[in-house]
Chains A and B, each alone.
Chain A
Amino acid sequence: GQQVMQIPQYQHVQEGEDFTTYCNSSTTLSNIQWYKQRPGGHPVFLIQLVKSGEVKKQKRLTFQFGEAKKNSSLHITATQTTDVGTYFCAGLGQGAQKLVFGQGTRLTINP
């Protein structure tokens, strides 16, 4: 079945440094979604990418969808303490009925 791998599993940065998490699917995707889960909270939807090569920005966050629609990345510029949490990607396989979540990247920040 479809698998979604996400790396790194953990990332610790100094406040102000950049952060990137990568997501790779074993199969071609219809779309990919990104979620953020704050410590002790529940996942919250950030964005959905649909088109090959698509790039979307939300303030300091940049999301990319690969040309082959099998990989994606989330890049945060100049991290702030409010960025702390676990970031999940979730891919919808072509013709599939359910999302497959990556294992998440837990981001911690040293102020």
Chain B
Amino acid sequence: SQTIHQWPATLVQPVGSPLSLECTVEGTSNPNLYWYRQAAGRGLQLLFYSVGIGQISSEVPQNLSASRPQDRQFILSSKKLLLSDSGFYLCAWGRDSEGEQFFGPGTRLTVL
């Protein structure tokens, strides 16, 4: 069966510090991978998606970046965090662009 892991579960970081969130998927190959951000009590904002190794599509211009160094690994990064980067970051995978997406447990990021 397939599983998706995200870590850390929670994170508190000062403004201006770097960020690295990791997401890995097990039990499948060549998945579509997604990073979403959810502000408190709000909807899901798609940040990045990837259909293959090294292929990243950015949806929102901002100080975040994403990389996919391996088939089942998706990393979200920032060189300098802003207060507005606080939120719930969710990684998801799908078998293709049309089907259901499976979400990881998420990382709650607070930037102080």
Contacts and interface: CB of A to CB of B under 8 A. Distances in A.
Interface of A: 6, 30-31, 33, 41-45, 48, 88, 90, 92, 96-104, 106
A43 B49 contact: no
A44 to B, nearest CB: 7
Contacts of B51: 97
Interface string B76-101: 00000000000000100000011111
Interface in B21-57: 34, 36, 41-44, 46, 49, 51, 57
B44 A88 contact: yes
Contacts of A103: 42-43
Given A42-B103, A45-B102, A48-B99, A98 B46 contact: yes
B97 A92 contact: yes
Contact of A101 (B43, B104, B106): B43
A98 B102 CA distance: 14
Interface size class of B (residues with CB under 8 A): 20 to 34
Given A42-B104, A42-B105, A99-B101, 9 more contacts: A30-B98, A42-B90, A45-B101, A48-B100, A97-B49, A97-B51, A98-B46, A102-B43, A106-B41
Contacts of A101: 36, 43-44, 46
11 contacts: A6-B43, A31-B98, A33-B100, A33-B101, A42-B103, A45-B101, A48-B99, A48-B100, A99-B101, A101-B43, A103-B43
